């Protein structure tokens, strides 16, 4: 961080430099956020596949008739997908 930038930040509020430990925490957090983004994209893709298979059905059942997922309309009319 340049001293010019630091001076600008100090005029706004308190500034603290990062340490080796904080840098590791920051990098770890960035990796976790990237993983969450990737997993969310995978989740959305798999949900779409299941909802496409279900069509207009509200319930998805397993081979033995057990309820495994629902895709039901709310009072507002939007459909919500839930895994049981």
CB 50 within 8 A of CB 69: yes
Is this model's pTM higher than 0.75 or not?
A: no
Q: What is the pLDDT of residues 56-68, one digit of tens each?
A: 999 999 999 999 9
Average pLDDT over residues 1-10: 62
Q: What is the pLDDT of residues 68-81, one digit of tens each?
A: 999 999 999 999 99
Beta strands in 1-84 (DSSP E): 59-61, 67-73, 79-83
Q: What is the pLDDT of residues 13-46, one digit of tens each?
A: 777 888 999 999 999 999 999 999 999 999 999 9
Angle at alpha carbon of residue 46, lines to 27 and 41, rounded to 5°: 25
């Amino acid at each position: 961080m340049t001293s010019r930038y630091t001076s600008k930040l100090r005029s706004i509020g308190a500034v603290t430099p990062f340490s080796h430990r904080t840098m590791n925490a920051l990098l770890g957090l960035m990796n976790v956020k990237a993983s969450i983004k990737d997993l969310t994209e995978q989740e959305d893709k798999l949900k779409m596949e299941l909802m496409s298979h279900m069509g207009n059905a509200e319930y998805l059942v397993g081979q033995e008739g057990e309820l495994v997922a629902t895709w039901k309309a709310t009072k507002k009319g939007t459909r919500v997908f839930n895994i049981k």
